[in-house]
Amino acid sequence: QITLKESGPTLVKPTQTLTLTCTFSGFSLSTSGGGVGWLRQPPGKALEWLALIYWNDENHHSPSLKSRLTITKDTSKNQVVLTMSNMDPVDTATYYCVHIGTTMATNFDYWGQGTLVTVSS
């Protein structure tokens, strides 16, 4: 069974860098296929895709946030880390990590519980 869980600070100050960790089980990023993605959802607003990384380190980022985002993986720990620099109050949102599978049937099929990050001084 696949599970994912986000962890990180719940409160960050403006201009600080946010570091979120997705710890997962039930699949591996050390073998071919699959990956982990990050999404976010500001309170009362729609979902927004941020970034994803595949087993072979191929990664993609939202163009509007690309200069601020870094996504990496630690295969030995079954973790994917997202960092977002220069945080602003508009970045206040629930951040989710999701499983990216090798087929259409297994893309976005499992989600973490989400973690609410508030940006405030």
Partner 1 sequence: DIQMTQSPSAMSASVGDRVTMTCRASQDISNYLAWFQQKPGKVPKRLIYGASSLQSGVPSRFSGSGSGTEFTLTISSLQPEDFATYYCLQHNSYPLTFGGGTKVEIK
Q: Note the residues at the interface with partner 1 (CB under 8 A).
A: 37, 46-49, 52, 60-63, 96, 104-105, 107-109, 111-114
**Which residue type is seen at 98?**
V
Would you say 43 or 121 has its CB closer to partner 1? 43
Whether 89 contacts 16, CB under 8 Å: no
Cβ 78 to partner 1, closest distance in Å?
A: 20
User: 89 with 75: CB under 8 angstroms?
Assistant: no
Minimum gap (Å) between residue 98 Cβ and partner 1: 9
Q: Which is nearer to partner 1, 34 or 112 (CB)?
A: 112
